[in-house]
Structure 1
Amino acid sequence: MTSPAPFAAIALQLAATSVEGCTSREAVAASMAETIAATQRKLVASCRFVEQYGGTRVKLAVLPEYWMTSYPGRIGVSEFAEKVAIDMDGAEYAALGRVASDLGLFLAGNAYERDPAFPGLYFQTSFVVAPSGAVVLRYRRLNSMFAPTPHDVWTAYLDRYGIEGVFPVATTEIGRIAAIASEEILYPEIARAHALRGAEIFVHSSSEIGSPLSTPKAVARQARAFENIAYIVSANTAGITGTAMPAASADGNSQVVDYKGHVLAEANPGETFTAFADLDLPALRAQRRKPGMTNQLARQRLELFAPIYSGRVVQPADSLAGTDGGFHIPDREHFARVHAGVIERAAKEGLI
């Protein structure tokens, strides 16, 4: 495989714009279009500075979690899907494709998306748009506390997309890219599954508490990078506007982490491009092919753990599946009830 020359990646830290106050889908669409236009202006200026500052071409930009809409809050699942979630072939992806094409880079981000195969639901989707304008990666968040995931309609989702669609890896001219959504950075199995399918760069869109202290997610980013010999480009929100929550509650600490677990760049609070760094894929690939104690990926003994994982259920699959092969639309409390049931069962079985 031909290795790309080192290139710059930016974790663009932007404020998420809540659409909570929008009264119609048309108003939501107009707000998202305005957000995308503003994002392009900020990205153009950011790339220009990074390229002039470091002399390396920017070929990857990562945007924060749900930066176009913010989170659903207490809006019902079907209502949120109808009012806010974007279509897989919708105007928002077309607009983002034009941004990626105009700048000649890969653009990663995160949005709530509806799938015609699962009407009434939505999935939180991390995506990558290529310089061609095409969506080359679509990863649906698998572990969420208060929202539907592919695991909640697992049998039907696997029938439609297969395991390749659950853990997609995009092979591109800048390397093999996979996505990790938000708090999933805390789950080592998510990153490892992608790495075992060849992922070299993890794009991580997040909206999390920033702190001058080391947070669990900051620790996890370094661990996921080190244990999988992979780069992580992690974009946090620069706060969330348009809600009653204090605006800076999820702000700061966007990072670029290298394949040795070293933080190459980290942003302070506020809208900023300052979490940027060069990614050296030839060096990463050389590390993966080097015999030695630091080659964690090649030293995995997966058969040791297969019997422990196999057949053991913690969070159940198909929690939304119906008896007729279909699925039902949950209320928001459904996910909390399932979670409480998991804890109760695990306690009875002596797992916790």
Structure 2
Amino acid sequence: MSNNVPVTPVPRYAALALQLATACVNDCSDRASARQRMADSIRRVRQAVAGSKAFLRQYSGMDARLVVLPEYFLTGFPMGESVAEWRDKAALQIDGPEYQALGAIARDLDLYLAGNAYEVDPHFPDLYFQCCFIIEPSGAVILRYRRLVSLSAPTPYDVWDRYLEVHGIDKVFPVADTPIGRLAAIASEEIQYPEIARCHVMRGAEVFLHPTSEVGSPLMTGKEIARRARAAENLAYVISANSARLEHIAIPAESSTGMSKIIDYKGDVLAEAAAGGESMVATATIDIEALRAARRKTGLTNMLVRQPFQIYADNYARTVFHPANLLLRDGQVRAPEKGETARWQLADIERLANKGLI
């Protein structure tokens, strides 16, 4: 991302958190049937994005420049599959047909398309990572953010030294400097980790794209509290797209529903989709110039520029709650065994309890 001060004003534009059903692939008997279901899902995505954009243009007179899709919208999540099984069945190749088809949607409809999928990094062929992506109107993927905190999937932190050697720290917290603002991505429950959002903001992020698949509830859930907090404390927009329902698995389908919304840089909800089904209602106007003005004014409300980061740095540097590199053995990457990540967590709890920290 460029460090230059932006000089070209960003026109106001419409963004959409598109609440869609997820056709999970867990019950597919083989790779071919899983890939066919994913292809069918991409066709449904194209129809929904095209229809929503056309209606928004007719209704509001504004073009949707940015559409965010839910977490793992093509596959659902692993439910007991080994890393090898899920990698083969559900993980995308970074230049594979699924990304090409999604790129065609962005190109044909002239918009930025963001979402979340499991994918294989050729540098780590025995693993897969959960990836938030942004595709620009040319059809090219311009940002890949790999989820850093997970209990169900390998993460870059599990192979931290090797990952930094290959990709560098800026690829860990990527920010895309675009004509519609500086965009970053946060995966699902990671909205509850303030440090992840903050590391994006340290690189200039103005809009957090948040693909999620979470419980639908009228209560103020942990993720809901976190969404608003991340927006207000960072003076950033949050565009959060949730699953409308999860199909083809035993969990009641609409346990994940609603909650899709757009939050402005003051922490106010601008638009929200109702629970119970697919929806394009979570759409709102993004005003990057107003955000930048808020970040550049003096006063108590500008919490972002008042942050004394160096106060916290030493405590982070010398405190380990969960260690890195647990999937590196003598410098070699290995895949986790079934249930291994749960055992890591138990070990962390025991160690921290013995130290009197929890």
- TM normalised by structure 2 equals 0.97
Q: Is the 8 A contact 1:146 1:332 kept in 2?
A: no
Number of the residue aligned with 1:319: 326
Q: How does 1:1-352 map to 2 (within 5 A)?
A: 1=6, 2-269=8-275, 270-323=277-330, 325-352=331-358
4+ residue segments displaced more than 2 Å: none
> In 1, distance between residues paired with 2:283 and 2:255?
23
> In 2, distance between residues paired with 1:84 and 1:56?
36
> In 2, distance between residues paired with 1:142 and 1:321?
16
Cα deviation, 1:5-28, whole Å, max 9, x if unaligned, reads 100000000011111121222211
Q: Tell me the secondary structure at the aligned position of residue 297 of structure 1.
A: coil
Residue 276 of structure 1: how far off its partner (Å)? 0.4
Q: Is the 8 A contact 1:147 1:332 kept in 2?
A: no
Residue 328 of structure 1: how far off its partner (Å)? 1.4
Q: Tell me the secondary structure at the aligned position of residue 299 of structure 1.
A: coil
Q: Tell me the secondary structure at the aligned position of residue 348 of structure 2.
A: helix
What percentage of aligned pairs have identical amino acids? 52
> In 2, distance between residues paired with 1:112 and 1:47?
26
Q: Is the 8 A contact 1:228 1:296 kept in 2?
A: yes
Q: Is the 8 A contact 2:13 2:285 kept in 1?
A: yes
Number of the residue aligned with 2:3: none
Equivalent position amino acid for 1:298 in 2: V
Cα deviation, 1:119-140, whole Å, max 9, x if unaligned, reads 1210000000000000000000
Q: Is the 8 A contact 1:3 1:175 kept in 2?
A: no
Cα deviation, 1:233-261, whole Å, max 9, x if unaligned, reads 00000010000110001111101000000
> In 2, distance between residues paired with 1:137 and 1:283?
24
Q: Tell me the secondary structure at the aligned position of residue 326 of structure 2.
A: coil
> In 2, distance between residues paired with 1:208 and 1:77?
22
Q: Tell me the secondary structure at the aligned position of residue 133 of structure 2.
A: strand
Residue 332 of structure 1: how far off its partner (Å)? 2.6
Q: Tell me the secondary structure at the aligned position of residue 81 of structure 2.
A: coil
Cα deviation, 1:276-305, whole Å, max 9, x if unaligned, reads 000000000000101111111100001111
Cα deviation, 1:99-135, whole Å, max 9, x if unaligned, reads 0011100000000001111112100000000000000
Gaps of 5+ in 1: none
Residue 316 of structure 1: how far off its partner (Å)? 0.7
Equivalent position amino acid for 1:252 in 2: G
Residue 311 of structure 1: how far off its partner (Å)? 2.2
Q: Tell me the secondary structure at the aligned position of residue 298 of structure 1.
A: coil
> In 2, distance between residues paired with 1:211 and 1:252?
8
> In 1, distance between residues paired with 2:57 and 2:13?
10
Equivalent position amino acid for 2:27 in 1: G
> In 1, distance between residues paired with 2:326 and 2:278?
39
- TM normalised by structure 1 equals 0.99
Equivalent position amino acid for 1:289 in 2: R
